[in-house]
């Protein structure tokens, strides 16, 4: 049988023999599904629109730099400073800086106006901050950009280095501009970047706090971050809850444009941030994640980035109530796990026109995140599923290509997470899944084009389902095998939309 001139292949619902142990452990069969037509009109969506990206440019960032008032540079003790409390809390972290500085720890503060690295070098002794060669600067103490101040690391700076041995890092509590330059965590002894060696080894980092603005444009940032709170690499984050309540700072924000981020613990991290723009960057060979927006961040634009070589987990992930955001026109490939992940109750996001390929797990993964739209993505040759949807409802998959993946083109399933280490109060979930698939193509996936475990409902329209590599022809298996003729009659011969739902849900509606 043909669909649009192409052989329609095996569509499988809850077939334990397809996915091996994975499905056998998770399937909970539901009896008595019905197949009926669905109104085509209600499945129609206009091509989604994304925000205008033309204004996010180097010129627009340049216009934001206020050089009208010179700032001042002072050195103070780190203790009892709001911008540093998260890094000196507890004896262990305080001892870290005492050991590295060989004294009660101090930091460099930029206050009151505009400062450049040249200004820092003039104001401070070489033991604290120096120009080691023309245009190359080395900070041997933490540097804090205070509220109301701004630091500009511009094209006259070849490299702004943070000493690993001396425990330097960069804190932005005002405005920080890194344009046409470099920021490098620096190993002084080896005279090279502080390349990752082990998770808990201190490496310099950049954190931009509540109320701040961070701008990185046309620059290279190398080897930041390690496995410690707010010290992950490049972070835009609200203060911790206690401090945030007291300080009452607005959500932090920033633009990261046309830059390269290499060898960070997290290439990017944010927490309770708003309207952050991550556009046109390359994230390569980072350790845990490439791009990782987190808790309650909203209105993010993640566009036209290339993310690859993440060593431990995912290329791009948004997690825990990261809502109303756009992940569009990115390339994410050759990452240790998934290319793109929507996780932990992140809703109302658009994932569109991305190229997601050759990742070592799934292409695009949605975990416990309902009401999201995937549109026009190319998901090819990933080792596991092309698109995986777990415990999520109203997932709309429009015009996507999912091809040549190691398991299923689209895999929807439920899973009880009660007996895991998950904090159910913080991250609640429902064991429900529902999908709408319209347009696009599921082709040449090793197990099957489509497999759904215990769905609330599935709607199919205009989807080209091509034979999996391990079988040929048309073959429904598992629960819906007896409905095969009805589905094919509606979807292929009559070219209508198909609604597949359990009898139980219809009975509930009548009640």
Number of compact structural domains in the chain: 1
pLDDT band for position 106 (cuts 50, 70, 90):
very high
Give the pLDDT of residue 423: 76
Q: What global pTM score does this model have?
A: 0.92
Q: Return the pLDDT at 487.
A: 75
Residue 459 lies in a domain: no
Sequence-separated (6 or more) residues with CB below 8 Å from residue 229: 86
Is the confidence at residue 7, as pLDDT, over 60?
Answer: no
211: in domain: yes
Separation CA 141–CA 94 (nearest Å): 14
Question: Does 2 have pLDDT greater than 60?
Answer: no
pLDDT at 470: 53
- Top-confidence residue, 162 or 13: 162
Given the residues 294, 314, 329, 413, the one annotated as active site: 294
Give domain status of residue 2, yes or no: no
Q: Is the pLDDT score of 316 beyond 60? A: yes
Nearest to 339 by CA among 312, 358, 352, 322: 358
* CATH code, domain with 319: 2.160.20.10
Residue 112, classified by CB atoms within 10 Å of its CB into exposed (0-12), middle (13-18) or buried (19+), is middle
Confirm whether 228 is domain-assigned.
yes
Within-domain flag for 442: no
Q: Which of 8-22, 25-39, 67-81, 194-208 has the lowest mean pLDDT?
A: 8-22
196 in a structural domain: yes
Within a domain: residue 434?
no
Q: How confident is the model at residue 474 (pLDDT cuts 50, 70, 90)?
A: very low
What percentage of the chain exceeds 70 in pLDDT? 89
State yes or no: is 294 an active-site residue. yes
The answer as to whether 499 is a domain residue is no
Identify the pLDDT of residue 302: 98
Tens digits of residue pLDDT in 124-154: 999 999 999 999 999 999 999 999 999 999 9
Tell me which of 201-210, 389-398, 451-460, 473-482 is least confident: 473-482
d(CA 412, CA 405): 15
Q: How far is the C-alpha of 490 from the C-alpha of 475, rounded, in Å?
A: 16
Q: Give strand pairing partners of 137.
A: 131, 160
> How far is Cα 122 from Cα 128, in angstroms, rounded to an integer?
11
The answer for residues whose C-beta is within 8 angstroms of residue 17's C-beta and 6 or more apart is: 477
Report the Cα–Cα distance between both ends of the chain, in Å, rounded: 40
More confident residue, 257 or 486: 257
- The structure tokens listed for 61 are 């960032």
pLDDT at 21: 37
Q: Give pLDDT, residue 430.
A: 82
Domain containing 104: what range? 60-413
Burial class (CB in 10 A: 0-12, 13-18, 19+), 225: buried
Burial class from Cβ neighbours inside 10 Å (0-12, 13-18, 19+) for residue 338 reads buried
What's the pLDDT tens digit per position in 377-425? 999 999 999 999 999 999 999 999 999 999 999 999 988 777 777 777 7
Are 322 and 300 in contact, with CB atoms under 8 Å apart? yes
3-state secondary structure of 331: strand
> What residues contact 5, with CB distance under 8 A and at least 6 apart?
none
């Amino acid at each position: 049988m043909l669909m649009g001139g192409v052989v329609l292949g095996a569509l499988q619902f809850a077939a334990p023999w397809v996915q091996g142990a994975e499905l056998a452990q998770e399937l909970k069969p539901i009896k008595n599904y019905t197949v009926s037509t669905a109104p085509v009109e209600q499945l129609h969506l206009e091509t989604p629109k994304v925000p205008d990206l033309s204004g996010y440019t180097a010129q627009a960032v340049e216009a934001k730099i206020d050089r009208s008032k010179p700032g001042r540079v002072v050195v103070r003790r780190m203790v009892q400073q709001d911008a540093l409390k998260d890094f000196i809390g507890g004896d262990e972290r305080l001892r870290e800086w005492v050991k590295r500085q060989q004294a009660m720890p101090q930091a460099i503060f930029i206050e009151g106006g505009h400062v450049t690295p040249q200004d820092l070098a003039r104001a401070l002794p070489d033991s604290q901050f120096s120009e080691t060669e023309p245009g190359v600067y080395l900070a041997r103490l933490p540097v804090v950009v205070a509220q109301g101040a701004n630091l500009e690391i511009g094209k006259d700076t070849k490299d702004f280095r943070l000493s690993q041995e001396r425990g330097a890092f960069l804190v932005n509590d005002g405005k920080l501009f890194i344009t046409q330059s470099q920021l490098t965590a620096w190993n002084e002894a080896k005279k090279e970047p502080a390349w990752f060696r082990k998770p808990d080894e201190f490496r310099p980092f950049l954190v931009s706090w509540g109320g701040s603005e961070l701008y990185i444009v046309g620059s290279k940032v190398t080897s930041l971050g390690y496995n410690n709170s707010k010290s992950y690499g490049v972070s835009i984050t609200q203060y911790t809850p206690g401090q945030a309540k007291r300080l009452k700072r607005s959500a932090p924000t920033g633009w990261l444009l046309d830059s390269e981020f290499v060898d960070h613990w997290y290439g990017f991290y944010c927490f309770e941030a708003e309207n952050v723009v991550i556009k046109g960057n390359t994230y390569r060979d980072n350790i845990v994640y490439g791009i990782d927006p987190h808790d309650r961040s909203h209105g993010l634009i993640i566009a036209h980035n290339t993310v690859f070589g993440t060593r431990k987990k995912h290329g791009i992930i948004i997690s825990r109530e990261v809502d109303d955001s756009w992940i569009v026109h990115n390339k994410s490939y050759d990452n240790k796990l998934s290319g793109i992940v929507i996780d932990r109750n992140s809703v109302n996001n658009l994932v569109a026109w991305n190229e997601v390929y050759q990742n070592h797990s799934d292409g695009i993964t949605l975990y416990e995140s309902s009401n999201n739209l995937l549109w026009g993505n190319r998901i090819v040759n990933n080792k596991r599923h092309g698109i995986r949807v777990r415990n999520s409802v109203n997932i709309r998959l429009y015009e996507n290509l999912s091809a040549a993946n190691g398991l299923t083109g689209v895999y929807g399933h439920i899973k009880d997470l009660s007996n895991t280490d998950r904090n159910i109060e913080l991250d609640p979930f429902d064991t429900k899944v529902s999908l709408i698939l319209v347009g696009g193509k599921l082709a040449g996936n090793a197990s099957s084009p489509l497999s759904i475990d215990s769905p609330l409902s599935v709607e199919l329209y205009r989807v080209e389902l091509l034979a999996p590599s391990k079988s040929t022809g048309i073959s429904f298996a598992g629960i819906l095998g007896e409905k095969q003729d009805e589905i094919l009659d509606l979807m292929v011969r009559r070219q209508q939309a198909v609604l597949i739902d359990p009898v139980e849900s219809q009975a509930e509606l009548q009640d």
